[in-house]
Structure 1
Amino acid sequence: MKKHVLKCVLACLWALIICTLLFSCSKINEYSAGRSTGKSPCICTGPHDVVYLQTNHEKQNAILAYKVYSDGQSVLMDGAPFLTGGMGLPYSYNAGSFNSDKEVRLSNDKRFLLTVNSGNNTISVFKVQSDGALSSVPGSPFPSGGETPVSIEQWQQYIIVLNKSNHPAIPSSMPPNYSIFTLQGDGSLVPVPNGKFEVRDGISPGQILASRTGAFVYGSNTWGFDYTPPAIRMNIFSIGRNGVLTPGPAAPPFDPLKPGALGMCQNAKQNVLYVAFPFAPEFSTYEMNTGTGELTHIGDSYARPGCSRFCSNKSGNSLFTANTMENSVSRFDISNPRAPRKTGDLSLKNVGPMYSGYFGEYTTSQCVSLASSTKDDLLYVVSQHTNPDTTIGNYNYLHILQIENGLQEKDEPVQLPVANKYRPRGLAVLRVE
């Protein structure tokens, strides 16, 4: 009798082990790839950054979290991917659906991580644990207030969500809008009364930026081929203490050779705004009026083809551009904020085969998100597989660049555990001591 019981116990244990292995394999198959850079066994100890990015998975969107150390070594955090409970965008050659920035954001106090679920019109909010791990807050994900949310910003206690209304597979039923929410102490999002501002169809808004030095909000619009009145420009808003947006002064018109804007970045020390034009190889510099929010054009700077998105270092003396069409990064000295001076270009590794697109030849892997490390010694860049030919490999990568002595990519990029039919995006960086 005892032997029979022992056999039953052993059989149950083996069944439990097999089930556990099968569950683990199913998770790895969904988000399959190596967990470290692979240059040598990672000595994963000591202070480090946690780099968050979004998988943009069509059915099971998630946040990947990588621990990155000072030497550039990285390892995927235990527990990742952290499922958002929402959906990303399906594969499409409609590039307009993917023209966006700041899809992932830490709250100003670093207590919460927020991300868009563009496929089912929701915003997910996670509680950030002391080690950087994530746990969903009660009620998450929350309705975004519109369709195809693509960008998140915070001004004081308010969360601003840009709803693009440009799903690649589902016709939009409403125009794009900016929706405002109050971020509660528990991480929940509560809609602000009258906190929705609609903008006209056809402008394909891409990013929100809240001024650090005034109660103003700026929105970029990426499709600028309509020159009939009213011409497509950036949006400028005032934001009240109640969180409600009101229209601000008209933005300067775009140059016909730069028909649409995407990425925006405010200088860390000055009231200067940098605006990227993805259909031109350059960006513009604007003076920001702290009293009215008005923008005054100062000048233009040449980057590289497809200059689309920005980040600056924490010291505020360097500006980096993601040049999407050719998968490269440019660096500018902004010690003089109103006169950026280019100091280098770097073509990222593993660009993949070239293919023909609407505006010419493209690399298969294209950089779309970038962020500096908390110690200003590294630059993190997400590149996504954009080639419609998904039989040629997987070119979804996280690049980790050394920036202390010029731009350098010393190691191979990290293969992201995201299938090549999805486009990972967004970056947020947290320091863990």
Structure 2
Amino acid sequence: MVISQGKLMNIISKTNKNNRQRSRKLLTLTGITALVLTGGLAIQSANAQWYQWSRLTGIVYTQSNIPTPNANSILGFRRDALGMLTPLSTPFFPTGGAGFPNASIVGRGPFFITAFASDQEVIVNPEKTRLFAVNSGSNTIAVFDIHQDGSLSPVEGSPFPSGGVQPVSLGLAGDILTVVNQNLLPQIPSQEASDSLPNYTTFRVTPKGRLIPIPNSTASVPRGSLPTQALISPNKRLLFGMDGGTGLLRSYQILPNGRLQQSPSSPQQLPPAAFPPNPIGLTLGLQVHPRRPILYVGFTLSNQLGVYSYEPDGDLHLLRTVPNSGRAICWLVTNRAGTRLYTTNPGDNSVTVYDIGRDPSTPVEIQRVVLRGEMGTGTAQLALDSTESFLHVVSQPAISVANNRISVLRVNRYDGTVTEVPSSPQLIPSVNNSFPQGIVAN
């Protein structure tokens, strides 16, 4: 399906109109019930509840990932108190580069779901004043300033060379930005690709947002490794990565000068339990506990969650694996308190919730929710908003990219379980065979 950006936003606008009608009906029924049951006191309670809900508005960003030169963009949405997404008044912000097409990756040899083989394609700094995004199809990184109304403006000089071929993931440690260059795209010019290995490389971020390459900071990995993620430890001193194509777990120390130094046990082969018989070497998803030296790893092919401890120098030790009832566990996120861990499972379009509060080293599954929309290879990256009241999931259906979407789930503040909101999902129709990648929520 090939449509223009303008038609894309018209479709999204029509979808939003239907969602608003559903939300209004829900609010009306809720209000009537409250009045009948408790009269005037209920009105006061409803007003207080609405005041609390009104504080839960925020901004959500994803990347359109359009493969056409200079057509890639960041899509911005305002989320209201009920979780409904509405495009910003300026709905998309050009990145100055290109994404990569779905069809060029899916079905390519053993990497049959590499459309999803990366995380952290879009990130923001802790102050939520600056946004970074990959241009996977043009080997650059876009950097934006975030304004109070959610709009974005590129910093001077953006986009910047990524230091390799096909950037797919970003990690920020203070003013050090790490870029993962995957180097798997078939459409990259052969000479450029042959001269460059997949790598992790770092940049210094200036106060104005410019990216300055750090000399001798590039850590290359073998061709075909399929590095997927640049995960930064809570103390900003370690970088964790996964070679999805070979099943190797990597850890690096981030030195004060910004260079990367591989940790003693790196790279570390994943345990046999991570793969079923006749492995094809595809493992995705890394996340760190926010308060304990624990690393969680998604063992995609065996539907398990791996749990590792790590030393101050990044040395890793496998503690155990626990089952996941979803299919093809991929990307992971934890809440700030370190009591809940959420996973996406593309194989059955679901989200799994784990209790990690009682014992972070032994996650216990407490919920699995199948999201609305097309089944099959679907759920991908996920993000909690800054209040941790909503969980947002980017989905990329394998059967029809016209049904790309963002799903929004409300997080129960008492037990951390999730419920998909009535207006979800927000459709993002494909442009030139594109599928969205990455998500952040303020």
Bin for the TM-score computed over the shorter chain: 0.7 to 0.9
The aligned runs of 1:321-400 (5 Å cut-off) are: 321-335=343-357, 336-352=359-375, 363=376, 366-387=378-399, 390=400, 394-400=402-408
Matched with 1:19 is none
2:271 to 247, 255, 268: 255
Inter-partner Cα distance in structure 1 for 2:9 and 2:265: 45
Please state how far the C-alpha of 1:91 moved relative to its aligned partner: 2.7
Answer whether contact 1:96 1:166 (CA < 8 A) is retained.
Answer: no
The alpha-carbon distance between structure 1 residues 137 and 243, as it changes in their structure 2 partners (threshold 3 A), is same
1:52 to 56, 61, 66: 61
1:7-63 Cα offsets, whole Å, 9 max, x none, are xxxxxxxxxxxxxxxxxx954225552233733258997652111111110111111
Gapped regions of structure 1 (runs ≥ 5)? 1-24, 225-231, 353-362
Answer whether contact 1:213 1:271 (CA < 8 A) is retained.
Answer: no
Inter-partner Cα distance in structure 2 for 1:299 and 1:420: 43
The alpha-carbon distance between structure 1 residues 83 and 183, as it changes in their structure 2 partners (threshold 3 A), is same
Inter-partner Cα distance in structure 2 for 1:87 and 1:31: 19
Matched with 2:41 is none
1:71-111 Cα offsets, whole Å, 9 max, x none, are 11221111121111110002322333541010000023322
Which moved further from structure 2: 394-403 or 338-347? 394-403
Q: Partner letter of residue 39 of structure 1?
A: N
Matched with 1:403 is 411
Please state how far the C-alpha of 1:214 moved relative to its aligned partner: 5.8
Answer whether contact 1:37 1:413 (CA < 8 A) is retained.
Answer: no
Matched with 1:271 is 293
The alpha-carbon distance between structure 1 residues 46 and 274, as it changes in their structure 2 partners (threshold 3 A), is closer
2:164 to 146, 149, 158: 146
Answer whether contact 1:262 1:276 (CA < 8 A) is retained.
Answer: yes
Q: Does 1:125 align with 2:143?
A: yes
Answer whether contact 2:56 2:387 (CA < 8 A) is retained.
Answer: no
Matched with 1:242 is 257
Inter-partner Cα distance in structure 2 for 1:345 and 1:168: 36
Answer whether contact 2:355 2:364 (CA < 8 A) is retained.
Answer: yes
Answer whether contact 1:51 1:68 (CA < 8 A) is retained.
Answer: yes
Matched with 1:136 is 154
Inter-partner Cα distance in structure 1 for 2:89 and 2:63: 16
Gapped regions of structure 2 (runs ≥ 5)? 25-52, 276-280
Number of aligned residues: 383
Please provide the CA RMSD for this pair.
2.1
Matched with 2:340 is 318
Please state how far the C-alpha of 1:213 moved relative to its aligned partner: 2.8
The alpha-carbon distance between structure 1 residues 332 and 40, as it changes in their structure 2 partners (threshold 3 A), is same
2:76 to 65, 75, 78: 65
Answer whether contact 1:288 1:295 (CA < 8 A) is retained.
Answer: yes
* Identical residues among aligned pairs (%): 29
Answer whether contact 1:37 1:74 (CA < 8 A) is retained.
Answer: no
Which moved further from structure 2: 146-155 or 189-198? 189-198
Which moved further from structure 2: 112-121 or 191-200? 191-200
Matched with 2:185 is 167
1:40 to 20, 35, 50: 20
| Superposition TM-score, scaled by structure 2 size | 0.82
Answer whether contact 1:276 1:308 (CA < 8 A) is retained.
Answer: yes
Q: Partner letter of residue 271 of structure 1?
A: P
Inter-partner Cα distance in structure 2 for 1:321 and 1:180: 28
Answer whether contact 1:315 1:376 (CA < 8 A) is retained.
Answer: no
Inter-partner Cα distance in structure 2 for 1:328 and 1:98: 15
Inter-partner Cα distance in structure 1 for 2:102 and 2:420: 29
Inter-partner Cα distance in structure 1 for 2:4 and 2:432: 18
The aligned runs of 1:62-101 (5 Å cut-off) are: 62-92=73-103, 93=106, 94=108, 95-96=113-114, 98-101=116-119
| More helix, by proportion | 2
Matched with 1:198 is 220
Report SS of the residue matched to 1:223.
coil
1:396-429 Cα offsets, whole Å, 9 max, x none, are 0110112206322242411114338212110112
Inter-partner Cα distance in structure 1 for 2:4 and 2:420: 33
Answer whether contact 1:31 1:418 (CA < 8 A) is retained.
Answer: no
Matched with 1:283 is 305
Inter-partner Cα distance in structure 1 for 2:98 and 2:350: 29
| More strand, by proportion | 1
Q: Partner letter of residue 147 of structure 2?
A: Q
The alpha-carbon distance between structure 1 residues 420 and 332, as it changes in their structure 2 partners (threshold 3 A), is farther
Inter-partner Cα distance in structure 2 for 1:420 and 1:146: 25
